[in-house]
Amino acid sequence: MEVQITNENFEALKNGELPLVLDFWATWCGPCRMVSPILSELAEKYDGKIIVGKCDVEENEELAAEFGIRNIPTILFFKGGAQVDKLVGAQSKAKFEEKIEALL
């Protein structure tokens, strides 16, 4: 499942039953546009096992600041309400799958 993450819904999704893969991105970011279809595909592949969240850093500055996001895309991995991993920059589909498998 893929959802839009906002300052308002983040806590509920982070502390939910399913692990959360949180993509911090912006519309003007080229590498973000490269990563987006990969994460969408993985959201479908792992539907019911993970939640893939998309957080626009310009619309949710508080959340980006909370995690010290300085470069995008930055992808954070949460399990049981805690951040367990992080990737910065465009990555391969295989690298994302490796991190997701580690969450399951």
Between CA 64 and CA 50 the distance in angstroms is 21
Furthest C-alpha separation in the chain: 32
Task: Determine which one of 22, 29, 39, 52 is catalytic.
Answer: 29
Task: Determine which one of 32, 42, 55, 57 is catalytic.
Answer: 32
The question of whether 55 is a catalytic residue gets the answer no
Other CB atoms closer than 10 Å to residue 93's CB: what's the count?
Answer: 14
Q: Which residues are catalytic?
A: 29, 32
